C-alpha cells in the first residue's frame, strides 16, 4: 500500500549541514525526512521556486527526453529503506506500456516536480523510518526544528551516492 505525499519543505540539517527534503502526507498527519545531496537539493529548490535556468539541468533534460519519446511520468514511489538509504522507482507510461525505473528518491522527486507527477511512499517505508505523526493540523517551524534535533542522521536515510 502507498500513501501520497507532497513536499513540505527543503531544509538544512542543523547537525550535518546536509539538505533534507521534508515530505508530508496529504492527510497532513505524517512527515518524512529524506537526506539528499546538495546538487539534487538545488534542482528541487529551483523547481519549488519556479526559477528558470538559462540551459536545461539534468532533470530538465530527462523531462525533455520523456516528452520527445511521448512518455509520461505516472508517479514516483519511495519504495524501500535499507541500511540507512532510501530507494525509489519512477513509473512511466510509454506507448501503452508501464515501465518502472530504479532511482534515488532525490532524482525521482526532482523529476516529479518537473512533470507534475504525484509522490508516493510505501507503508513499509513509513513504518521503518523516523517519521513524525502530527496531532495538530498545522505544523510550525519550531515543531520541525525540535523534531529534527531529535533525529540521528546515522540511524536513517542519509544521502549516499
> H/E element holding 99?
strand 97-103
Total count of domains within the chain: 1
Domain residue limits at 130: 2-155
* Angle between helix 58-68 and helix 105-115 axes, rounded to 10 deg: 60
**DSSP structure string for 120-147:** EEEHHHHHHS--EE-SSS---HHHHHHH
Domain membership flag for residue 11: yes
Domain membership flag for residue 45: yes
The CATH number of residue 48's host domain is 3.10.690.10
Q: Is there a contact between 102 and 149 (Cβ–Cβ < 8 Å)?
A: no
> H/E element holding 133?
strand 132-133
Q: Which tens digit of pLDDT belongs to each residue from 111-131?
A: 999 999 999 999 999 988 876
Residue % of the chain over a pLDDT of 90 = 65
Domain membership flag for residue 160: no
Helix, strand, or coil (residue 149): helix
Domain membership flag for residue 161: no
Amino acid at each position: 500500500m502507498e500513501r501520497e505525499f507532497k513536499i513540505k519543505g527543503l531544509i538544512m540539517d542543523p547537525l550535518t549541514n546536509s539538505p533534507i527534503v521534508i515530505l508530508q502526507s496529504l492527510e497532513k498527519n505524517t512527515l518524512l525526512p529524506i537526506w539528499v545531496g546538495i546538487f539534487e537539493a538545488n534542482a528541487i529548490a529551483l523547481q519549488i521556486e519556479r526559477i528558470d535556468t538559462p540551459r536545461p539541468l539534468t532533470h530538465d533534460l530527462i523531462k525533455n527526453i520523456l516528452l520527445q519519446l511521448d512518455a509520461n511520468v505516472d508517479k514516483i514511489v519511495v519504495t524501500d529503506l535499507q541500511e540507512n538509504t532510501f530507494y525509489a522507482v519512477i513509473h512511466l507510461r510509454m506507448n501503452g506500456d508501464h515501465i518502472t525505473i530504479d532511482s534515488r528518491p532525490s532524482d525521482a522527486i526532482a523529476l516529479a516536480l518537473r512533470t507534475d507527477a504525484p509522490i508516493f511512499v510505501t507503508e513499509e517505508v513509513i513504518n521503518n523510518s523516523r517519521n513524525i505523526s502530527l496531532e495538530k493540523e498545522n505544523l510550525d517551524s519550531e515543531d520541525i526544528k525540535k523534531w529534527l534535533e531529535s533525529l540521528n542522521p546515522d540511524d536513517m536515510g542519509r544521502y549516499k551516492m
